[in-house]
A and B are shown apart, each in its own frame.
Chain A
Amino acid sequence: MSDDHHYPGGMRRWLMSTNHKDIGTLYIILSIIAALIGGAMSWYIRLELAEPGIQYIDDFQFYNTLVTAHGFLMVFFVVMPAMIGGFGNWFVPLMIGAPDMAFPRLNNISFWLLAAALVLLIFAGFTGGGTGTGWTVYPPLSAADYHPGWAVDFGILSLHLAGASSILGAANFITTILNMRAPGMTIHRMPLFVWAILVTAFLLLLALPVLAGALTMLLTDRNFGTTFFIAEAGGDPLLWQHLFWFFGHPEVYIIIIPAFGIISEIVSTFSKKPIFGYLGMAYAMSAIGVVGFVVWAHHMFVTGLDVDARAYFTVATMVIAVPTGVKIFSWLATMWGGSIDFKVPMMYAFGFIWLFVLGGVTGITLANAGMDIPFHDTYFVVAHFHYVMAIAAIFAMFAGFFYWIGKMCGRQYNEGLAKLQFWIFFVGVNVLFFPQHFSGMAGMPRRIPDYPDAYVGWNYVSSIGALITMIGTFLFLYIAIRTVTSGEKAEANPWGEGATTLEWSVDSPAPFHTHETMPDMTGKAPAE
């Protein structure tokens, strides 16, 4: 048995893995664990907010810490690991016909840095006074004067590690996608999911170093007497906000662009049609990525930014609606004339489009600096970003999970149970987040543990939605465990003629080593 065909087992397989499939699986498991912690936090928050007055969380610093940790967990430890580390690792090499990622050992360290970051984040949440700063960590609230404990330092270190993990992963993806495609698979013939991961990797590579720099400045402010963000000593708190959002806005596209990729694959597969306007789709993602770097200050419309700057950021932000529209309409046009199988991944794709359109139009509202005044920092914003980014991303993850689970574990999920889970989850998230538009318009601020009595009604409805969503989450867990342990055997291609990408050409589960001979893709799909 030659070296490149070894099959390590046990600890060696999982701790020291250099196999893209195993590392992908590890990422997905980490994501599910983090989702349960982050979800538990949000359910606890909704439990407190179900009624006016203080019922469960009488330590408001702890409440703020929950809000903060929920955000960090969901962004850095749930969505990113699942979509990029999980599905990206699993399916980019499979889809481009490569035997593995370009740098398998880098891939390993990317994962374990993230696992370490998760541990640090838990420290940050539950020791040293907690991180009651919001995920935006604005100084001076996050400075040593107002958060003297080590919690914020742990949070900073956690993000540093998570950032390093993502940067290494991004370098790996870029190298793999640019250099290791099967013969004949030109850039303009790559599946859209690969395009999505490529664009995302560039965003990671350009945005995360800025966050790392800002975090380092905050760390030295807190511990070594620098004053980058301390106004009394000549620093500027607004500098943090600019740096943070220069990272933070691309970050939301880092979350949603892989979702675009997953949804594109699924829509095409289940409509049994090639994607409509493939090039438009690919370049719309690229355009969103580029424009996403020049709109950051729309998160800062009420910080006292100069009015001309606000006018610029209003217009620039609106521009993003154009490529986003191209994507929505191209998905609809792909389905148009199709012969659609409404399997669960496709139902989740429909759900995604609904959530994304709804969150997208409220995004147009919020893009207007003049209109942002009554909305800023209210529950309207909470509703907006949960629709367009958070829940939409979760829907894409569920869609991807059900789409690919047969390929990943060799067993197929139970269609009936999964349909039930979709409907519970779909109703749950809409009951949860739609009423928050109303609370927000009425003026309810974010990040408060108690609220004036007028907001009782919609908050109660919202909490019921959280309960339904919780049931949907546990049902998903049940389905996932059942699938992996006792699901029906999956065929190599369970989806039929519509599934044309390369991952369906290998067995289910995908063998430990695949594409040892690169397939010849000359003249083959996608549509161009």
Chain B
Amino acid sequence: MGDMLNRLYVFFTALISTVIVFGGEVMAEQYRSKPWQMGFQEPRSPQAEQGFAFHDMLLWIEGAIVVFVLVIMGYIIIRFNAKSNPVPSKTTHNTLLEVVWTVAPIIILVIIAVPSLKLLYFTDRTPNPEMTIKVVGNQWYWTYVYMDNDGMEFDSIIIPDDELEEGQPRLLSVDNPLVLPVETDIRFILATNDVIHNFAMPALYLKLDTTPGRVNETWTHINDEGDYYGMCSELCGVNHGFMPIHIKAVSKDAYQDWLVEAQEEFAAKDDGSVVDDIVKLAAMNQ
């Protein structure tokens, strides 16, 4: 079922985008929304694959409910208007019917709940992370800390519209993307220096608040190399719309090469912030 939906969707968007040519070229390796997109972005992590498949199931069930109600409403409009049916019936009870329309939804909900809870527990945490990234929200940029590389850290700030280079999407591009290896179980530890932000990446099925006084944890496993784009997803003040998230996923080898270069560039620093200490403590307690 999911396959068919996907194919329909790909066909439909292809059709539309050939009819309507929109500004901004779509590069092969950029994972972000496309013009007139009607569904999810392509899944690029196991969580996204499982989640979007679950959503396909929901869509069929909910679509059937909506169509069912619409058909009944249509029938009522045609058959039971004052002209076609001048004498109203007096029926006000039907115990069997009432039991059915109470029990049937319960059965449907149980059918939904089982895969739903499976998905929930799967997306929660990874038991064996291969690496850990600390993400710190700031008004209005992100700080990424490579916990396994002497706490190497750097800030990731939006590129203003007038400084964009060819191929860089507007409002999504940053000066220093978060570089991550593919095919690796990555643990994210989330913290904030000021208000609540939210670290979100649609194609990877990531979204979690950074809350003052707390350290939140989630994980991902990136399937494909490429550029991933997301945006802060909790209202965090004046420039909430302008702190995008850009993840650059590279092969494991390329990641090691990048680490060597990056460590020179962002020479490890320790500014002794409170958040750092909290996060280290939490990581030790895992």
Contacts and interface: CB of A to CB of B under 8 A. Distances in A.
Contact of B233 (A53, A134, A304, A378): A378
B119 A370 contact: yes
B276 interface: no
A361 B55 contact: no
B231 A140 contact: no
Contacts of A453: 22-24, 35, 169-170
A302 B170 contact: no
B144 to A, nearest CB: 19
A454 interface: yes
A337 B113 CA distance: 35
A338 B37 contact: no
B34 A454 contact: yes
A238 B234 CA distance: 14
A141 B140 CA distance: 13
A423 interface: no
Nearest to A497: B88
Contacts of B242: 450
Given A304-B214, A454-B35, A365 B55 contact: yes
Nearest to B206: A373
Given A238-B211, A361-B65, A271 B80 contact: yes
Contacts of B263: none
A60 B200 CA distance: 21
Contacts of B2: none
Contacts of B102: 322, 325-326
A374 interface: yes
Interface in A371-404: 371, 373-374, 376-378
A322 B106 contact: yes
A430 to B, nearest CB: 13
B163 to A, nearest CB: 15
A218 to B, nearest CB: 14
B272 interface: no
Of the candidates B51, B230, B233, the one having the most CB atoms from chain A within 10 angstroms of its own CB is B233
Contact of A368 (B36, B91, B112): B112
Nearest to B119: A370
Contact of A457 (B22, B90, B120, B239): B22
Given A350-B73, A453-B22, A453-B24, A237 B211 contact: yes
A433 to B, nearest CB: 15
Contact of A357 (B65, B125, B170): B65
Interface stretch (A207-215, A275-283, A465-473): A275-283
Contact of B92 (A132, A276, A457): A276
A362 interface: yes
B73 to A, nearest CB: 7
B167 interface: no
A338 B80 contact: yes
Interface in B187-219: 190, 194-196, 198, 200, 202, 205-209, 211-214, 216-217
A40 interface: no
Interface in A1-20: none
B76 interface: yes
Contacts of A318: 109, 112-113
A314 B80 contact: no
A339 B241 contact: no
Interface residues of B, number: 101
B208 A236 contact: no
Given A339-B82, A373-B207, A138 B241 contact: no
A140 B194 contact: yes
Interface string A212-242: 0000000000000000000110011110000
A452 B82 CA distance: 51
Interface stretch (B38-46, B174-182, B247-255): B38-46
A274 B39 CA distance: 43
Interface string B69-105: 1101100110011100111111111100110011001
Interface in B104-139: 105-106, 109, 112-113, 116-125, 139
B65 A231 contact: no
Interface string A308-347: 0011001100110110011011001101111111100000
B4 interface: no
Given A237-B212, A335-B80, A452 B32 contact: yes
Given A60-B239, A326-B101, A438-B38, A231 B213 contact: yes
Nearest to A526: B92
Given A357-B66, A374-B202, A141 B241 contact: no
Interface stretch (A153-161, A439-447, A478-486, A515-523): A439-447
B33 interface: yes
A68 to B, nearest CB: 9
A369 B97 CA distance: 32
A149 interface: no
Interface residues of A, number: 93
Of the candidates B123, B125, B190, B207, the one having the most CB atoms from chain A within 10 angstroms of its own CB is B207
Contacts of B205: 373-374
B149 to A, nearest CB: 25
A527 B92 contact: yes
A52 interface: yes
Contact of B62 (A145, A235, A361): A361
Contact of A303 (B65, B211, B230): B211
A132 B91 contact: no
Contacts of B88: 271-273, 337-339, 498
A410 to B, nearest CB: 26
Contacts of A333: 94, 97
Contacts of A187: none
Contacts of A119: none
B54 A302 contact: no
A238 B196 CA distance: 10
A146 B236 CA distance: 10
Given A64-B238, A302-B198, A445 B233 contact: yes
A235 B139 CA distance: 21
A441 B238 contact: no
Contacts of B281: none
Interface in A454-495: 454-458
A273 B86 CA distance: 12
6 contacts: A232-B212, A336-B72, A373-B123, A445-B200, A454-B35, A458-B36
Interface of B: 20, 22-24, 32-41, 47-48, 51-52, 54-55, 58, 62, 65-66, 69-70, 72-73, 76-77, 80-82, 85-94, 97-98, 101-102, 105-106, 109, 112-113, 116-125, 139, 161, 169-172, 190, 194-196, 198, 200, 202, 205-209, 211-214, 216-217, 229-242, 274
Interface of A: 52-53, 60-61, 64, 132-134, 138, 140-141, 145-146, 231-232, 235-238, 271-278, 280, 302-304, 307, 310-311, 314-315, 318-319, 321-322, 325-326, 328-329, 332-333, 335-342, 350, 353-354, 357-358, 361-362, 364-365, 368-371, 373-374, 376-378, 438, 441-458, 498, 527
Give 4 nearest A-B pairs by CB, closest first: A231-B213, A448-B241, A337-B89, A370-B119
Given A273-B91, A374-B40, 12 more contacts: A276-B93, A280-B98, A307-B124, A318-B113, A322-B102, A326-B102, A338-B88, A339-B82, A339-B87, A354-B70, A361-B62, A374-B202
